[in-house]
Amino acid sequence: MDRRPTTLERAYELADSGECESVHEIKVRLKAERLPNIEGHLYGPSLRADLQKRCLANRANPPVSPAPRR
């Protein structure tokens, strides 16, 4: 059985994926995914600044997926 990521883990996944441009977009996605206590988990200026920095860095240079194995 696969383990669902925590709210904070998923926020970092989204920030690092290049799919979200801002913390606001991350929150919207987390709400759509019905993750719990989003505001409680994403509280604090340091955390929000780190997520925002990752969003901007990965939006400019999205992670490259490895080529599929044949």
Encode pLDDT of 21-34 as tens digits: 999 999 999 999 99
**Choice between 69 and 38, residue whose per-residue pLDDT is larger:** 38
pLDDT band of residue 47 (cuts 50, 70, 90) is very high
The closest alpha carbon to 19, from 59, 65, 61, 67, belongs to: 59
